[in-house]
Structure 1
Amino acid sequence: MARPPRYDETLLLDTAVQLAAASGPAAVTMSAIARSSGVPNGSIYHRFPQRVILLAELWLRTVERFQDGFLSALDGDPDPRRAGAAGARHVVAWSRSNPQEAAVLLHGPQSFGRDEWPMEFTQRADRGNQRAKAAVARLAARVGAATELGTDKVVLAVIELPLAVVRRYLRAGSPLPPHAEDLAERCALDLLA
């Protein structure tokens, strides 16, 4: 019978998040994780046989954690304007609560080797992206966005503007200002009017 792993995946991925947030995806190596976590290289390779698998799991765990709350916000209020505003607010609030993970997401999946991921990981990423696109499309339909301009306004309101609110602070390693959530929410409400 195989021996259960001594070190759990959460510790390894949490360490990888810290490394990526501090120094970018290139800093996430098996040896760097071993040094930072105190976990032997062999144990890391036992859980993640290749670096690309570790990078894929790091990206997917992070984006899925973000998407769960974002998608719930977009579908959570019967009033589509308030639902969109809640989605925009979630982008900022999640980034405030999870600054290292938010910094990871700013790099994008390509920086984490997406082109080299095994198929199961790309399919998982594609499913998540499809869920997010479908939620935004549902919101666009609910606010009556019947044109490309209308859909672009929804995307700007719930994705692009909230990201703009957090991006410069995350890149600078600075805390978000106290008004950041309110700003994202107000912008979304105005655009979705």
Structure 2
Amino acid sequence: MADAYTTLWTNDLCRELRKGGFEGERLTVLFGGPHQSLPSFVRAGVRPGDRVYPMRVFRRQLWLLGSMEVGRLLDYETVGDHLAMEDYLRLVHWKPLKTSCVTEVAVGPPGTPLSFDTPVPGGVLAELTYRSRRGERQIKHVVDGELRSAVSVHGVYRLAPESAVVLETLVGGRSVPA
């Protein structure tokens, strides 16, 4: 059974993507690496078939930016040897997502369009749950429906199945109870 994960993007990256005209384009590539600023999908346990939800924290809200199913996880150094030209061109196109610390690339079929206008409602935020080998945990620092610190969402984290369903509903443009 496929899992779902979140990854946190910085506000600087989101501004660059918006300024570069990427809003509305379907996600096809995600980059990972060894550092906290660009966390590893491989270390988090992401596999082909899993879904990744990029998010951002802005003005004390968690914003859902889109989703992409992972088709392949490839080593960045040899990615050109494994991709068809069309897929390689997608990788080059999404260059703003890449930083100097990239070691891996998640490539998938076109995901949802990149959007900066989908907030996670406060009630959903308070219930959003991650799952690890040690058990389940909810996001910390949620006060009155606001996210006061991004520390517990900074990285690549596996969602509990119920939370994955809620995010999929949100990214699909359907409303969920606040």
On whether the aligned pair clears a TM of 0.5, the verdict is: no
TM score, norm. by length of structure 2: 0.26
- 1 or 2 for the larger relative contact order (CA 8 Å, sep ≥6)? 2
Structure with greater helix percent: 1
User: Normalized against structure 1, the TM-score is what?
Assistant: 0.25
Between structure 1 and structure 2, the one with the greater Rg is 1
